[in-house]
């Protein structure tokens, strides 16, 4: 009987905490939406080695920060050989961007197509099932911009 009570209390506590956490997250995001336009916007392209430290340490009180990347995770590339031989598990080399940066930074899962510095517009093409704007082009106005796109694989012929 005691085990049943402990289980019910534990499960109830777990779901209560999850509901509180999602409420707190949505409340902070909606508060940041209400002050959009009053702060200079920084658009960070990519979730690589340059972007993650910038996103972790940027002052969100001073800047409105938007991260645009086709991947919603950070990949620890030096550990990939260890994954292939089985020394390290795959889940240990991938970290979700949302868990790294927090709720005050907006994230858009899309590919950057064009950066027009004269009109200060970044055009992004969303392609996936979990994107913010499915099937549409997302146009983001930018003030200062940080580009941390990183390197991409290319085949040399």
3-state secondary structure of 94: strand
E strands, 7-61, are 41-45
Specify whether 27 is located in the same domain as 82. Answer: no
Whole-number average pLDDT of the chain: 71
Residue 152 in any domain: the answer is no
3-state secondary structure of 53: helix
Q: What is the pLDDT of residues 101-120, one digit of tens each?
A: 777 888 887 777 777 777 77
Specify whether 30 is located in the same domain as 56. Answer: no
pLDDT given for residue 146 in this prediction = 47
CATH value at residue 67: 3.50.50.60
Binning pLDDT at 50, 70 and 90, where does residue 25 land? very low
Domain count, the chain: 2
- Evaluate if residue 131 carries a pLDDT over 80: no
Specify whether 9 is located in the same domain as 64. Answer: no
Binning pLDDT at 50, 70 and 90, where does residue 127 land? low
Specify whether 29 is located in the same domain as 42. Answer: no
Q: Which residue has the higher pLDDT, 25 or 121?
A: 121
Residue 113 in any domain: the answer is yes
Sheet architecture: strand order including 137-141: 111-116, 121-125, 137-141
Residue 17 in any domain: the answer is yes
Q: ∠99-103-107 over CA atoms, to 5°?
A: 80
Distance between CA 147 and CA 10 in Å, rounded? Answer: 45
Least confident piece of the model among 3-7, 38-42, 45-49, 140-144: 140-144
Q: What is the pLDDT of residues 65-80, one digit of tens each?
A: 888 888 888 888 888 8
Give this prediction's pTM. 0.58
């Amino acid at each position: 009987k005691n085990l049943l009570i402990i289980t019910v209390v534990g499960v109830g506590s777990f779901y209560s905490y999850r509901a509180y956490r999602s409420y707190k997250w949505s409340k902070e995001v909606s508060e940041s939406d209400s002050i959009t336009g009053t702060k200079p916007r920084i658009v960070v392209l990519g979730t690589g080695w340059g972007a993650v430290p910038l996103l972790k340490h940027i002052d969100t009180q001073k800047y409105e920060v938007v991260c645009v990347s086709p991947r919603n995770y950070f990949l620890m590339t030096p550990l990939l050989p260890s994954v292939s031989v089985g020394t390290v598990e795959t889940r240990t080399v991938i970290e979700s961007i949302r868990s790294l940066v927090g709720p005050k930074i907006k994230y858009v899962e899309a590919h950057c197509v064009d950066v027009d510095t004269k009109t200060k517009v970044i055009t992004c093409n969303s392609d996936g099932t979990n994107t913010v704007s499915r099937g549409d082009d997302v146009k983001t106005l930018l003030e200062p911009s940080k580009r941390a796109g990183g390197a991409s694989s290319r085949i040399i012929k």
